[in-house]
Amino acid sequence: MQNIKAYMQQTGQQARAASRIMAQAGTNAKNCALEAIARIIVENSAQLIAENAKDVAAARANGLDAASVDRLTLTDKSISSMAEGLRQITQLPDPIGEISDLKYRPSGIQVGRMRVPLGVIGIIYESRPNVTADAAGLCLKSGNAAILRGGSEAIHSNQAIAACVHAGLRAAGLPETAVQVVSTTDRAAVGELITMREYVDVIVPRGGKSLIARIAEEARIPVIKHLDGICHVYIDDEADLEKAIRVSDNAKTQRYGVCNAMETLLVAQDVAAKVLPPLCRIYLDKGVELRGDEASRKLVAKMKAATEEDWRTEYLAPILSVRVVAGLDEAIAHINTYGSQHTDTIVTENYSKAMRFLREVDSSSVMVNASTRFADGFEYGLGAEIGISTDKIHARGPVGLEGLTSQKFVVLGSGQIRT
């Protein structure tokens, strides 16, 4: 325990020192490092797979479930996709140093804002080794230093990837300590990481809800967090029903286990009889279990009764809750009560109702006539994302490079004084 504290303090000090150098690093140096890391990762595939095999064997021996073992396993394909992800980050514009809104003030000074890195980012994630490379790449490009703490099941894989990251940083003349991967699996290291206020500026947890909730509870540093994704589609009585069916189908069934999939469908009562039967037939054909309120169940036979709990549940599975509402007001009230401020869509042709939905639904993404599945850094044009924030402070929605930066004020004068 004493040793873990000292180790993490040293890690923090090194990260703080590296962050000062990274903040000044030029775009070329950062891109060179990203390309070198990508190249070195591919060159060392065999080594990475050998180290990963130790983790996989231990995970199997410890009875880890098949899906988790799958996420843990590195293959030639997943390694080249890691490298490709890093190369894509080199293509993103460098946000650092950008000056915006420079305007003259009556005093004669010009005032604007310059984008700067946050400093040191702590990232805590589960046993997906690809996150080590992704997160390192985003922090590096945004001029930050990173302390990465991956799941203990991936310790050998993460250390092997860390060695590649360090070699790439060295090759570009940047400090290795710009990306540090915590080398102990002791949980006390997380406790230190999320409370070292002098060395860490923000924590980004990536993983299951319980991990994130625990970190948010215990952290003494700002956390960019993403809890539930209880996303809604509301089919308005003035919806184009063809769009409604297409969007509602896609939002639920294009992928089930993702945070931006729809979990609850709301339908205006005036169109419920028309839209629910054909839409629910699609769901049932695809094997989606339906749980509805009384009004929905009168229209669709194969529907279980939804409980209050269903409205609050992120299934991440082929299950959908369905509710008939009087209209827009009831839909907005339902979403603001039961939703998780992630992503919600209205399907309507009515301009005023679309505008009200955009304004009044209190979620990080609000949409009109588009699938909730679009809530994603790539689809929004941000490039890779470090996560999706359902918070309001600092960052909301998909968090890309810009979410890892801040803005300071710059004042350009010619000798002005205040009178």
Site residues (vs a copy of itself, CB under 8 A): 20, 23-24, 97, 103, 105, 107, 109, 111, 114, 116, 118-119, 201-202, 222, 240, 242-243, 246-247, 249-251, 254, 336, 345, 347, 358-360, 362-371, 373-375, 379-381, 392-394, 396-398, 406-419
In the complex, the smallest distance separating the C-beta of residue 98 from a copy of itself, rounded to whole angstroms, is 11
Of 181 and 338, nearer to a copy of itself (C-beta) is: 338
Q: Name the minimum Å distance from CB 144 to a copy of itself.
A: 11
Between 76 and 242, name the residue whose CB sits nearer to a copy of itself.
242
Amino acid (one-letter) located at 389 = S
Residue 101 CB coordination number (10 Å)? 10
Note whether 344 and 363 are within 8 A (CB).
yes
Q: Which is nearer to a copy of itself, 247 or 280 (CB)?
A: 247
Question: Closer CB to a copy of itself, residue 130 or residue 371?
Answer: 371
Nearest to 129 by CA among 77, 82, 66: 82
The residue among 94 and 126 lying less far from a copy of itself, judged by its C-beta, is: 94
Taking the complex as a whole, how short is the minimal distance between the CB of residue 366 and a copy of itself, in angstroms? 6
CA–CA dist 18, 281 (Å, integer): 57
DSSP conformational letter for 392: S
CA–CA gap between residue 87 and residue 71 (Å, rounded): 22
> For residue 82, which of 106, 58, 48 has the smallest C-alpha distance?
48
Tell me how far, at minimum, the Cβ of 261 lies from a copy of itself, in Å: 10
Q: Nearest approach, Cβ of 27 to a copy of itself (angstroms)?
A: 13
Q: Is the CB of residue 326 less than 8 Å from the CB of residue 340?
A: no
Dihedrals phi, psi of 383, to nearest 5 degrees: 85, -160
Contact assessment for residue 152 and residue 185, using Cβ atoms and an 8 Å cutoff: yes
CB of 418 to a copy of itself, least distance (A): 4
Tell me the β-bridge partners of 319: 289
> Could you tell me the smallest distance in angstroms from the CB atom of residue 77 to a copy of itself?
21
Between 6 and 411, CB nearer to a copy of itself: 411
- The alpha carbon of 149 is separated from its chain's Cα centroid by a whole number of angstroms, namely 16
**Closest CB 244 distance from a copy of itself, rounded Å:** 9
- Cβ-based nearer residue to a copy of itself, 23 or 316: 23
Site of tokens 């993403």? 226
Cβ proximity to a copy of itself, 60 vs 105, nearer residue = 105
Our CB check for a copy of itself shows the closer of 235 and 303 to be: 235
**Count of residues in the chain:** 419
Least Å distance, CB 221 to a copy of itself, is 9
Q: How many CA atoms lie within 13 A of 275 on its CB side?
A: 28
Residue 179, SS3 per DSSP: strand
| DSSP label of 100 | E
Phi, psi (5° rounding) for residue 400? Answer: -105, -150
What DSSP line would sit under 201-221, residue for residue?
SEEEEES-HHHHHHHHHH-SS
